[in-house]
Structure 1
Amino acid sequence: MGGVSSSQIALQNEGVGGLAVATAPGGAGQDPDRSRVIPFTTAEAYKGIAWIDDVEALARVPDLALVEKGPDGRDMPIVARNGTRPMDAYARPMPEVDASIPQFAILIRGIGLSRTASITAIKSLPPEVSMVISPYARDPGDWVIRARLAGHEVFMGLPMESANFPFEDAGPLALNSQKQVEDNMRTLRTIMGMVPGYVGFVSRFGSKFGVAEGQLKPVFEEIKGRGLMFIDSGESGSGAMARIAAELELPKAVVNIQIDRTPTEDEIASNLLRLGALARSQSVAVGMGDPYPHTIRELKNWLAAQQPTKMRLVPVSAIADRQIVQ
């Protein structure tokens, strides 16, 4: 299946099969189950995760001042005549906060690949957590509505060619360095026109396309020109995308830590501690995860333990251009 990683394929095949259970050796005094990768492709794995009630929904989308009809008749994002950008209008509003308090943001990607996983993430995580809709989702517009009704701002995933293909297959909607610039621009506009109401794009893979500067710049210029934000997922490993975005003055953020690269409770908990430490040392930090059961549970527990007077969860849109780009 093109466009999704093996873990995301497992999410999409919900109810059909599960991951094999893998147990790492437990140390003395350690709960061995905390290092266990449980099957997460069935609804059973998400049982017991509490939903959050009485959340104020974000405004309905689209704002007609922020769309134009594309050549194929679909709504495309634009900057309004009064200068309002989609990234501003569709972002989750942020109250005034003490600038001295460290801030961190969390993205959950792959929304729409699994119904159970996506609904659980949307319904159970605080509205400040930002959701990333997969362009390979069935009916992505429905997921934008669901997420915004639960108070979450949303981004669209932007697949990019990986140097590790076929082990990292970004799929048929991937921007590809072997294609002509205009072919990539058509692909970008296809994804842009899928849904209204998103703040910007989050890269997926990109270790090859992300260093093809001649191909990347027109993409970034189009994103900027339409008033959107770009988030480097950090998967490319080079930092080139963030640097080029900075040169073009494209509003941006960079994912510092993938919290569930290994989706065990211990690993996720450790990465969340690292995220908090990074936020305290650098004032801001961004983490990203997938809607796995362990990820959602550990994230809920960790967030509940944070004191907002010492460290604050914010939407990732609030961190635009606040990180140091190397």
Structure 2
Amino acid sequence: MSEAPMANDLSTPLTGRRRQRREKAAKFHFPLARLLFIAILVILGGVALRLVLVEDPDGGRPSQEVAITSTRDGNTIARSAAAGPATITVDPGQYPADGSIMALPAPGDEAPLTGQRPGGFGILPDLSEETSHGAIPRMSGTGLTPFMAYRRAPGPALAANQPMIAIVVTGLGINEQGSLDTIDQLPQEVTLGFAPYGRSLPTTVAAARTAGHEVMLEIPLEPFDYPQNDPGPHTMLTGDTPRENLEKLFWLMARFGGYFGVINNMGARFTASATDMAPIMEELGARGLGYLDDGSSNRSVAAQMAGANRVPFARAGRVIDSSPARASILSALASLEAEAMDSGSALGIVSALPISVQAVAEWSRELDAKGIALVPASALMK
């Protein structure tokens, strides 16, 4: 009788505690399935909203715009420059073996522009190649070169075997008004060289060509005392790789169009290095441009490099205003006349200083009476 109540007393509290634990667990049950279902609904709703509100045909995939053409891949010289000087394989269809593509047109003939529609500022589309720096000149598929298309016809002096003098004025384009004044003062036969740094180069060059002048691009080359004597930005250097110098050349060539050739600005160290000049001259030859050496360095290898790459070439024999005084300029011009009478032709370089331009303009008016013809520089380029 006494043991039964004792058993009930021991078992009753234990059962109650178990019941309490079950009730507590039921009270705090974690609804995992329900939460997962809600999360899935939220995700699906977000995707649906994005499809409705966001126009993204790529569905969020990363994308990048890439040009469909690459002028670098089409430029064999530039592509192989890093490996050393390249060799140009001449296409007989573009460069006949007799060299007729480089022959001077008959006296009085105009440059071969027939059948071509000029683009902006008189640039022929077939003679233009787009690069990352802008448009640069090239040879057309028919073999027409910028040298032949953009040069000024030499006139009757060549056929008459008259003594000939060519004058190249350099340093134009930096000062717009000064350049326009120079264009107005000088006769059409004077060749004009433009530096690649002016802000209004396309319009200034167009004014020169409209007035009848042929134009050249000045390219800055490394002098011996560089950087104390610095020709300007994008100067081609002997310490740079051929690819780096070609990249600079392309930037320079894209500053304006319509030029038949280039002329060096300084460059005594650079033009003395065949290793550095070779890729540059190869590129000029491949693009059909001429090269004029300003005659400032006797160590220049430009003549040899030009001959090896069929680049129309000439070398200036005298800097007319090395002493920028009127008497000195007139004396230098008289020496140029004597050289032309003696050898048949002479080529002089003069800067665009007002005193120099005025002296040349006045001198040129009396030249014909002396039996000497003033001709564009391209007429003396071989």
Deviations 1:154-182 (A, max 9, x none): 10001100002345311221110011110
Query: Percent identity among equivalent residues?
Result: 29
User: 1:274, 1:107 → 2: CA distance?
Assistant: 16
Equivalent residue for 2:235?
A: 174
Aligned equivalent of 2:366, options 305, 310, 313: 305
Q: Are the counterparts in 2 of residues 101 and 309 from structure 1 also a CA contact under 8 Å? A: no
Spell out the pairing of 1:122-201 with structure 2 (5 A cutoff). 122-201=183-262
Q: Are the counterparts in 1 of residues 330 and 359 from structure 2 also a CA contact under 8 Å? A: yes
Equivalent residue for 1:247?
A: 308
User: How many pairs were matched up?
Assistant: 263
Residue 101 to residue 247, structure 1, CA distance change in 2 (3 Å): same
Deviation at 1:199, TM superposition (A): 0.6
SS at match of 2:355: helix
Alignment partner of 1:257 is 2:318: yes
The structure whose residues are more often helix, as a share, is 2
Equivalent residue for 1:32?
A: none
Aligned equivalent of 2:175, options 102, 106, 114: 114
SS at match of 2:244: helix
Deviation at 1:125, TM superposition (A): 0.2
Equivalent residue for 2:143?
A: 83
One-letter amino acid of the structure 1 residue matched with residue 138 of structure 2: I
Deviations 1:34-72 (A, max 9, x none): xxxxxxxxxxxxxxxxxxxxxxxx9752111111222x1
Structure with the bigger RCO (C-alpha within 8 Å, sep 6+) is: 1
SS at match of 1:144: helix
TM-score norm. by structure 2 comes to 0.66
User: 1:135, 1:69 → 2: CA distance?
Assistant: 18
User: 2:228, 2:190 → 1: CA distance?
Assistant: 29
One-letter amino acid of the structure 1 residue matched with residue 153 of structure 2: P
User: 1:308, 1:212 → 2: CA distance?
Assistant: 43
Per mean C-alpha deviation after superposition, the further-off stretch among 187-196 and 158-167 is 158-167
Residue 170 to residue 73, structure 1, CA distance change in 2 (3 Å): closer
Q: Are the counterparts in 2 of residues 204 and 235 from structure 1 also a CA contact under 8 Å? A: no
Calculate the aligned-residue CA RMSD, in Å: 1.7
Aligned equivalent of 2:295, options 224, 234, 237: 234
Equivalent residue for 1:61?
A: 122
Q: Are the counterparts in 1 of residues 263 and 292 from structure 2 also a CA contact under 8 Å? A: yes
Deviation at 1:309, TM superposition (A): 7.1
User: 2:317, 2:133 → 1: CA distance?
Assistant: 38
